[in-house]
Amino acid sequence: MFDWLEHLTDWLVFRVFGMEPGNRLAEAVHFFIYDSVKILLLLMVVVFLMGIVNSYFPVEKVRNYLSRKNLYGFEYLVASLFGVVTPFCSCSSVPLFIGFVRGGIPLGVTFAFLVTSPLVNEVAIGLFVGLFGLRVTLIYVASGILLGTISGMILSRMKLDRFLTPWVKEILAKAEREGERAAQLHLPLPKRIPQIWADVVRILKGVVPYVLVGLAIGGFMHGYIPEGYLEAYLGQKSLLAVPVATLLAVPMYANASGILPVVQVLVSKGVSLGTAIAFMMGVVGLSLPEGMLLKKVMTLKLIGIFFGVVAFCIICSGYLFNMIL
Partner 1 sequence: MKHVKILGTGCPKCKRTYAVVESAVQQIGQEVRLEKVEDIMEIMQYDIISTPAVVVDEVVEIKGRIPSESEMIKLLRS
List the Cα angle 11/14/19 in 5-degree steps: 160
Q: Is 235 in the site for partner 1 (CB under 8 A)?
A: no
C-beta of residue 100 within 8 angstroms of C-beta of residue 63:
yes
Side-chain-side CA neighbours of 71 within 13 Å: the count stands at 15
**Residue 210 to residue 149: CA distance in whole angstroms:** 30
Angstrom CA distances, 40 to 211, 215, 257, stand at 9, 11, 11
Of 98 and 247, nearer to partner 1 (C-beta) is: 98
Helix locations, 133-227, DSSP H: 134-156, 166-173, 189-224
- Considering only residues 17, 53, 95, 181, which one is a binding residue for partner 1 as defined by CB under 8 A? 95
Minimum CB–partner distance for residue 263 and partner 1 (Å): 25
Mark the segment that binds partner 1 (CB under 8 A) among 12-20, 72-80, 83-91, 144-152: 83-91
Mark the segment that binds partner 1 (CB under 8 A) among 143-151, 153-161, 192-200, 230-238: 192-200
- Considering only residues 198, 240, 300, 325, which one is a binding residue for partner 1 as defined by CB under 8 A? 198
C-beta of residue 118 within 8 angstroms of C-beta of residue 74:
no
Q: Is 90 in the site for partner 1 (CB under 8 A)?
A: yes
Site map (CB under 8 A) of partner 1, residues 202-221, x = contact:
x-------------------
**Residue 109 to residue 73: CA distance in whole angstroms:** 10
Site map (CB under 8 A) of partner 1, residues 31-60, x = contact:
---------------------------xxx
| DSSP character at residue 123 | H
Q: Is 293 in the site for partner 1 (CB under 8 A)?
A: yes
Of 61 and 269, nearer to partner 1 (C-beta) is: 61
Q: Is 296 in the site for partner 1 (CB under 8 A)?
A: yes
Of 21 and 58, nearer to partner 1 (C-beta) is: 58
Of 95 and 304, nearer to partner 1 (C-beta) is: 95
Helix-strand-coil split of the chain, %, nearest 5: 75, 0, 25
User: CA-based Rg of the chain, rounded to a whole angstrom?
Assistant: 21
**Among the listed residues 163, 173, 162, 88, the one whose alpha carbon sits nearest the alpha carbon of residue 125:** 88
Phi, psi of 182 (to 5 degrees): -60, 135
Minimum CB–partner distance for residue 295 and partner 1 (Å): 11
Minimum CB–partner distance for residue 246 and partner 1 (Å): 26
Beta strands in the chain (DSSP E): none
Q: Is 170 in the site for partner 1 (CB under 8 A)?
A: no
Q: Is 268 in the site for partner 1 (CB under 8 A)?
A: no
State the residues that interact with partner 1 by CB under 8 A.
58-60, 63, 89-92, 94-96, 98-100, 102, 167, 171, 195, 198-199, 202, 293, 296
